Structure 1
Amino acid sequence: MQVITVVSAVFGARCSVLVHDDGSCVVIDAGAGVTDSVLQLVADRDLQPAAVLATHGHVDHTWDAGRLSEALDVPVVLHAADVYRLADPFGTLGLLGSSGSPSHDPSGPLAQAIAATGIDPTSYTAPHRVEPFGGADDARSADTVLELGSLRIVARHAPGHTEGSTLYLVADVAFTGDVLFAGSIGRTDLPGGDDATMQRTLREVVATLPPATVVVPGHGPTSDIATELARNPYLARL
């Protein structure tokens, strides 16, 4: 198994292409502007994509999900609790996404960050083919096993940053999105975030992972659970 990283120019969001030895692959967190690089990678290595996964529904992780889904003819897969964000990516981020009315008007800091990369913030296209898992109203769902091509991925609900935030676990690797970063955690002050829920997720989901688990976050460098338990102040205080 191999993990290939493509970094979006918007907030440095990390797009991961998880590749099985036989060429099956999935794309995790298709941020703004990653489509061309991912399509080139797929073509150059003759990969067989099975899905575009999202660790959560924030648009810096899903901007290109619809475009890639269509180009690769695969579904967008994410927790049911975050599906609603795909239809209104700016409005569901509160003032970070939209500073005016209507809620979907891209006028906030995120739209400005997207525009600064040369991408038109009004060009977003919601995915047409979405396959959710989990329950939209569940406080915490049981693990969902995703069989995608030759890849077996455990989707573990980890709310707090958003209602549907998910860890994707494959062998000894955890794709943590904005739940856990190297030395930090995701913010909980945006719509759908909740600090008490995040603390429970950190205590019951993150801290219980095997220490050798490699952490591939949605932003920034990789780490491992042992290092984060020892050095991350948000885990050390649990």
Structure 2
Amino acid sequence: MLFKQLFEPESSTYTYLLACEDTKQAILIDPVASEIETYLDLLEQHGLSLVYSLDTHVHADHVTGAKLLKERAGSKAVLHRNSGVPCGDILVTDGCLLRIGSIEVEARYTPGHTNACTSYVVDNMVFTGDALLIDGCGRTDFQEGDAGTLYDSIHNQLFSLPDDTVVYPGHDYKGRTHSSIGHEREFNARLGHKQTREDFIELMKHLDLPYPAKIDVALPANKACGNVDADCKK
């Protein structure tokens, strides 16, 4: 399997390229619109055909590259069915499987940061989007966020994976590239140390985070698969 972790610095977003080296079929997880040329160059460099672009949720901090990739690489946009994105080509539910060559991608529904968050498991790796971050988690104060739901999602869908499962998050702001389920279950600042559900809900209630800087542009664009001409409404 070919694997590349890519980084968009303005929003500190990680995008992941995975490809079957036999069939040359590929997927991109959480592509960013501004980085399209980088993705297309990588695909050409390795002789890959992009089959799917997977968004872990409807992002509020950057515009997805799904629309541009569909137009220029012929890929299909994949999101959870609760995303409210009518232009999605494939709307997954919990347990859905996608295949590219010998690679199997399992969708695990992990709502709480948003109502449509989905993590993707590939072999001993899990791509958690904004649900589980390294030493943290996604905020729960907008886009149908709910702290109790997020706690349940992480414990039931992610912390139930083997300890050595490698965690690849949607963002990191300190230069860290990956972690492990065992490490996060034990040491995550918000969820580790046997943190109770009630304590987690109380902690998330008092984060006092600023309004997301790009949400008024990114959210309507992403509900249209990355169409920046979509009406921008608060």
**Seq. identity, %:** 31
Tell me which residue corresponds to 1:152: 104
Q: CA deviation digits over 1:115-160, x for unaligned, max 9?
A: xxxxxxxxxxxxx5622122xxxxxxx4111123442100010100
Equivalent position SS for 1:235: coil
User: Deviations along 1:46-102, whole A, 9 cap, x unmatched?
Assistant: 012111011111154652211012111011001011143xx7xxxxxxxxxxxxxxx
Residues 83-232 of structure 1: pairs in structure 2 closer than 5 A: 83-84=84-85, 128=87, 130-134=89-93, 142-220=94-172, 221-232=177-188
Q: How many residues align?
A: 189
| TM-score, normalised relative to structure 1 | 0.74
Correspondence 1:82 to 2:83 = yes
- CA change 1:129–1:200 in 2 (3 A) is closer
What TM-score do the two structures reach when normalised by structure 2?
0.76
Partners of 1:71 and 1:205 in 2: CA distance: 34
1:28 aligns with 2:29: yes
Distance 1:208 1:129 in 2: 29
The correspondence of residues 55-70 of structure 1 with structure 2, limited to 5 A, is 55-60=56-61, 62-70=63-71
What SS does the aligned partner of 1:26 have? strand
Q: Does the 8 Å contact 2:79/2:88 carry over to 1?
A: no
Q: CA 1:129–1:201 in structure 2 vs 1: closer, same or farther (change >3 Å)?
A: closer
With over 3 angstroms needed to count, the CA separation of the structure-2 counterparts of 1:186 and 1:67, relative to structure 1, is same
Relative contact order (C-alpha < 8 Å, sep 6+): which is higher?
2
CA RMSD of aligned residues (A): 1.7
Q: Which residue matches 2:230?
A: none
Please name the residue that 2:44 is paired with: 43
Extract unaligned runs of 5+ from structure 1.
88-127, 135-141
Q: In 2, are the aligned partners of 1:29 and 1:61 still within 8 Å (CA)? A: no
2-structure distance, mates of 1:32, 1:13: 11
Query: Residue type of the partner of 2:134?
Result: A
